[in-house]
């Protein structure tokens, strides 16, 4: 899953696909993927979480 952030209001949304519009302000085409925020299992958190398999 990726984290997308609205460049207009700063709202965030987690999902697999880029949202067409912001869930907070409703602006279209403003959701940008935040690089380095991959939350998939196996990410390099190093905290001993249950996501590691």
Backbone angles phi, psi at 34, to 5 degrees: -80, 120
Please state the length of the chain: 53
The pTM of this model reads: 0.63
Q: Where are the domains of the chain?
A: 2-33
Chain segment 4-48, per-residue pLDDT in tens: 999 999 999 999 999 999 999 999 999 999 876 555 544 444 445
**Beta carbons within 10 angstroms of residue 19's beta carbon:** 15
Token couple for 41: 């299992």
- Residue 36 has a pLDDT of 61
Residue 31 exposure: Cα atoms within 13 Å on the Cβ side: 21
Burial of 22 (0-12, 13-18, 19+ CB in 10 A): buried
């Amino acid at each position: 899953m990726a984290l997308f952030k609205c460049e207009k209001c700063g709202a965030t949304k987690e999902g697999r696909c880029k949202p067409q519009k912001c869930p907070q302000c409703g602006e279209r085409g403003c959701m940008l993927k935040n690089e380095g925020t991959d939350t998939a299992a196996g990410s390099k958190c190093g905290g001993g979480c249950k996501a590691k398999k």
